[in-house]
Structure formats: C-alpha cells, structure tokens
Amino acid sequence: MSLNKTRPGWKRMGSISALAFGVVFAVALATGPWSHLWAQTETVAEDSVKSNETAALGQPITVEVTEVISRMINQSRSVTGRVKPVRTVDIAFQVPGQIISINVEPGSHVQKGDLIAQLDQTDFDLAVDRAQASYDLANSELKRASSLAERGVAADARLDSARAQFAQADVSRREAKRRYSQTQIVAPFDAIVARTFVEEYINVTSAAPVARLQDISEMRVLISMSEELAAVGRSAPDAYDIVAQFPAVPGYTAPLTLRSFATDADPTAQTYDVEFAITGEIDPRLLPGMTADVRISTTDSENPEASFIIPVSAVDTTSRTDPSVWVYDETTEKVTRRTVRLGLPVGDEFIVLEGLKDGEMVVSGGWWRLSDDQIVAVSGR
C-alpha cells in the first residue's frame, strides 16, 4: 500500500511511548464499542498465573485465531471542523476612566503597537505632576540631610528618614507614570479586530473588554476526534493524510499540520479536541468561524486499495513498543509477537498498513497469556 510519508500532520507527535499507547488504547477500549475487551485486560495477571500452571503441566494454552483477510476499503473519514485564529484576546484598560477615542472598527487590521483606544488623560497627567513634585522635594531633603550628616550637624536618624521618604516618592512617581501609560491601549500583535464592545465618551471600569483581537498570523482548524481515531492517532502517528475544504470558499483545499492534541476527553461526546494549522497560502476569503470539512485518510479515497483486516481483539494492548499482534504458525503450532502499523478502524476491525500478509493467522483471543515461540492449541480444532 502506498502511503504519503511527507505529510507533517502527525509526525510532530513522534513515536508514542509504551506507556502512552497502553493508556490511550485502554481508555478507548473501556469506553468504545469494544468495551468487552477491557474485562479481558483486567484479568491479565490472573490468566498469566493460570498459563504458567498449565505450562508446568505440559499442556499447551488454548487460544482463538483469526485469518488475516484482504478487503477493498475506502480508508477515509470525514469530520466537521471550525476555522479559528491562533489566538483570540479581549483587550481592556487597566485603569478606569472616560473613553475619548476608539481608533478601530470591526474587521479592520492593526499592526503591533497601533493605538486602539484612549482614555481622558487629564487626571492621570495631574497625578504624574503631583508625584514628580513630591519626588523633587524628597530628593532635596535627602541631599540636605546627607550634607548635614557629613558635617556632624544632624543625627543619622534624620538621614535615614530622608532616604525612606525619597524611596516612597520615587515609587509614587513611577506608579503615576505607569497609570498614565495605561490610559492607552495598543495592539500587542498584528491582528484583525473581530469586534468592539464600547463606544466613545462612556466611562469604563478596569478590565472591562474594549475590543476583541484575532491573531491570524496562522489559521487553524479545530475538530473533535472520536476515541477510536484518537487511539490510532496516538499509536500510529504516520497513519493519516489530512486535508480540509471549506463550503464558504469553494475550490480551496488546504493540507493540515497537527498543532495540539487535548487528551482530556469531552465527558458527554467522548471526543478529543485536536487543532491543526492550515499550511500553504491562505485564501483571503477564509475567515475565523467558518466551517471546515476535514478528510482523514490513509490512502487516496478515490482509489481505494486492498487492505488487510484483523479484529480489534487481536491487537495486543500491553505492547511495550508499537502496536503488535501474535502470529500463529500452523506448521510449528507456535506463536510470535509481531509489530504492526495500524490504519483507521472500521467497525470492530482494524486496517493493518504494515506487518502482516494475506492468509496469516493471528491470535484474536487469549494473547495476554502468551510468550514468544510458545506452543499453543487452537480452539475448535
């Protein structure tokens, strides 16, 4: 099967660790359509003891096996996503006052440092002058006290008091200047103004939103991924080819690159929020909030290829590396563990991209009791 390995989407996640694969796959089994397998994994320790006792008596362990079959499958899923900016910020004044100007309109673009809104600065300007006067007076008193202390005319206590008053005056002056600077809101980054919340000449309190800025230096698509897709995505990060189309922007198709994967599942829908970045040139018609049709596939959906299928019960959820299965050799009646690369789940089966051949036999029940090169008995034979 041909697989595009140049897509950056899932490669950023790297190879999943043994612990991460076991935990994520176990969660998917516990809550998904294959929850009956969870009960099997909980009895691993008990069945291992029983298998050791059976081996000690010279009796082979009985397992269930399933033949690997080849089937023509369209290996793609379509999910609905939403376009969003890389970040959205509601900006506000940090001091209360009367707004005398708002220099932006919804939909306008601003550069970093551009003035967005300004308060009446009169009272803040007076506060700076008052603090400066107190600072100058404290500075003069400190110089006088230092001169008298050097000549032995004044006590050291007066000098210490002058120093303390000067320090307080300096803090008050810097605080007044800072509050004066907070009478203006400037753009913290290049952005588009999504909306404004206030009008000119009204009084606002500190922290009351004035405008909403959207950073569109990178556009993203947010989707909710089902647990079975999330399980494969965490265990087989190279399995996906992901592109997006936008109903509001006909003719525009964009490849996606993974940016974040939230492992905190939605308690109601049992889905995981995944964010992708739109790569390549962004169509100027694309806006935050638009709907995206995201196609997740492992092959060209218009030219499906024959795929190898195994039951989900055949995947070893205790694998110490990548996903694996136990292959049964009918000639020697032995089993061996083999690493595989999984594709998309199809019902209660998995597509296997690499690691198995058509007609091979895999253990689909009882694999948790096995070890490499162990002789087994096949149930029903």
Give the C-alpha separation, 260 to 275, whole Å. Answer: 5
Which domains, from first to last, does the chain contain?
33-74+303-381 (2.40.420.20), 87-214 (2.40.50.100)
Residue 301 has pLDDT above 50, yes or no: no
For the chain, counts of helices (H) and of strands (E): 6, 21
22-76: per-residue pLDDT in tens?
434 444 444 444 444 444 444 444 444 444 444 444 578 899 999 998 876 656 7
Query: The whole model's pTM is what?
Result: 0.58
Give the C-alpha separation, 195 to 210, whole Å. Answer: 9
Q: Distance between terminal CA atoms of the chain?
A: 33
Give the C-alpha separation, 175 to 188, whole Å. Answer: 22
Over the range 367-380, which residues count as b (16 or more CB within 10 Å of their CB) and which as e?
bbbbeeebebeeee
Contact by Cβ (8 Å): 297, 76: yes
69-117: per-residue pLDDT in tens?
887 665 677 889 999 999 999 999 999 999 999 999 999 999 999 999 9
Q: What is the CA radius of gyration of the chain?
A: 34
User: What is the DSSP track for 45-97?
Assistant: HHHHHHHHHHHHTTPPEEEEEEE-EEEE---EEEEEEEEEEEEEEEEE-SS-E
**Are β-strands 241-245 and 291-297 bridged in parallel, bridged antiparallel, or unpaired?**
antiparallel
